[in-house]
Amino acid sequence: MSGRDGPDGAGGPGGSGGADGSDDATGAGGVPDVALDEALAAVAGEQPLINSVTNDVTVNDVANVTLYWGGLPVMSDDEREVGDMVGIADGCLLNMGTVSESGEETMLTAGRAANERGIPLVVDPVGVGATPTRDRVADRLVTDLDVDVLNGNYGEISALVGDDAEVRGVESVGEYAEIAAAAVECARKTGAVVVASGETDIVATETAAFEVDAGHSMMGAVVGTGCMLGATLAVFAAAVDDPVAAALTGTAAYGLAGELAAEGAFGDYRGPASYKIAFLDAVAGLADASTPDIVDRIDRIEVR
């Protein structure tokens, strides 16, 4: 871990330590007693500055969703400056969606600065499994850096651990019956808390796996929802001390926003483009919306 509490570390807003079920700080069924309202209040109170080195396709969405959660976005990605910007940030996101040769080096510079500063480092290995270049860059990021939270779709997480995976461009294609086991193996390989996104999200550590039942199929119809999940995880990891509680809370909050948008709570929509607007408004308005207790959306699952 990057100088921060690991999954057994001290708790904090939004969750209490031992979120991998290793001590008595968990609730029923070995699920940590995460609290959405506490996490959202912590984000609002801390207003974490998040530096994202991210792709050209969704950079504006990543910036806005960071802001709408209550963080402060900055997208510094120049080798001459990024170390200094991460040096004053509270969290760092690396998203390799359109990584260039210089961008690869800049991501390593930013990641090393985050590790040295002891702030949360989130990595989204976009498109790993699609090309040898992406396989090499992703492996370099998780090997050379101390990653706190790693998020990818089912295909990307499976590809990272060498399981059969079909990643077409950046989209996960096919069935992944063993995704929970792949996520735990990925956590063991990288030392990160792993979020495997899909119809049901999986949050995994080296010793525990949780299903997060929140979200809507319309989220899968919008480019950028995985990238924006990475930004969400960076914001929550900067405000919630325990990285597992942060990942569970951020993933659940994100899915709840997707559900509220699909229900029309933040405006009608006619298709994926207008849904995206409603989704972003749901993120911005979640703190004021009445939301269910997210503990009821999280189930610990047994993984061999």
Ligand X SMILES: Cc1ncsc1CCOP(=O)(O)O
Ligand Y SMILES: Nc1ncnc2c1ncn2[C@@H]1O[C@H](COP(=O)(O)OP(=O)(O)O)[C@@H](O)[C@H]1O
**Binding letters toward ligand Y, positions 122-161, x by CB under 6 A:** -------------------------------x--------
Part in contact with ligand X (CB under 6 A); list of ranges 103-111, 130-138, 139-147, 218-226: 218-226
197 makes contact, choosing from Mg ion, ligand X, ligand Y, none, with CB < 5 to 8 Å by partner type, with ligand Y
147 makes contact, choosing from ligand Y, ligand X, Mg ion, none, with CB < 5 to 8 Å by partner type, with none
Beta bridge mates, 74: 51
Secondary structure class of 98 (helix, strand, coil): coil
**Binding letters toward ligand Y, positions 245-264, x by CB under 6 A:** ---------xx---------
Q: Has 191 been labeled as part of a binding site?
A: no
Quote the strand ranges of 142-297, DSSP E: 149-153, 166-168, 171-173, 193-197, 201-204, 209-212
- Out of 134, 216, 276, 297, which residue is the one contacting ligand Y (CB under 6 A)? 216
Q: Has 151 been labeled as part of a binding site?
A: yes
Residues in contact with ligand X, counted by CB under 6 A, come to a total of 12
Residue closer to Mg ion, measured from CB, 226 or 243? 226
226 is a site residue for ligand X (CB under 6 A): yes
Residue in 281, 278, 155 with CA at minimum distance from that of residue 218: 278
256 vs 33: CA distance, rounded Å = 17
Task: Report CA 105 to chain centroid distance, whole Å.
Answer: 22
150 near 194, Cβ under 8 Å? yes
Q: Which two tokens stand for residue 120?
A: 């949360």
Residue closer to ligand Y, measured from CB, 25 or 286? 286
201 is a site residue for ligand Y (CB under 6 A): yes
CA atoms within 13 A on the CB side of 37: 6
- Produce one character per residue of 151-183: b if its CB has 16 or more CB atoms within 10 Å, e if not: bbbbbbbbbbbebebbbeebebeeebebbbbbb
226 is a site residue for Mg ion (CB under 5 A): yes
**Binding letters toward Mg ion, positions 121-140, x by CB under 5 A:** -----x--------------
Strands 201-204 and 209-212, bridge-based pairing: antiparallel
230 is a site residue for Mg ion (CB under 5 A): no
57 is a site residue for ligand X (CB under 6 A): yes
- Out of 105, 144, 164, 199, which residue is the one contacting ligand Y (CB under 6 A)? 199
249 makes contact, choosing from ligand X, Mg ion, ligand Y, none, with CB < 5 to 8 Å by partner type, with none
How many CB atoms within 10 Å of residue 189? Answer: 17
243 near 80, Cβ under 8 Å? no
Helix (H) or strand (E) segment spanning residue 93: strand 91-95
Longest dimension (CA), the chain: 49
Part in contact with ligand Y (CB under 6 A); list of ranges 50-58, 138-146, 193-201, 292-300: 193-201
- Out of 51, 52, 58, 76, which residue is the one contacting ligand X (CB under 6 A)? 58
- Out of 225, 232, 251, 291, which residue is the one contacting ligand X (CB under 6 A)? 225
The residues binding ligand Y (CB under 6 A) are 153, 171-172, 197-199, 201, 215-217, 219-220, 225-226, 229, 254-255
The residues binding ligand X (CB under 6 A) are 55, 57-58, 97-98, 126, 170, 223-227
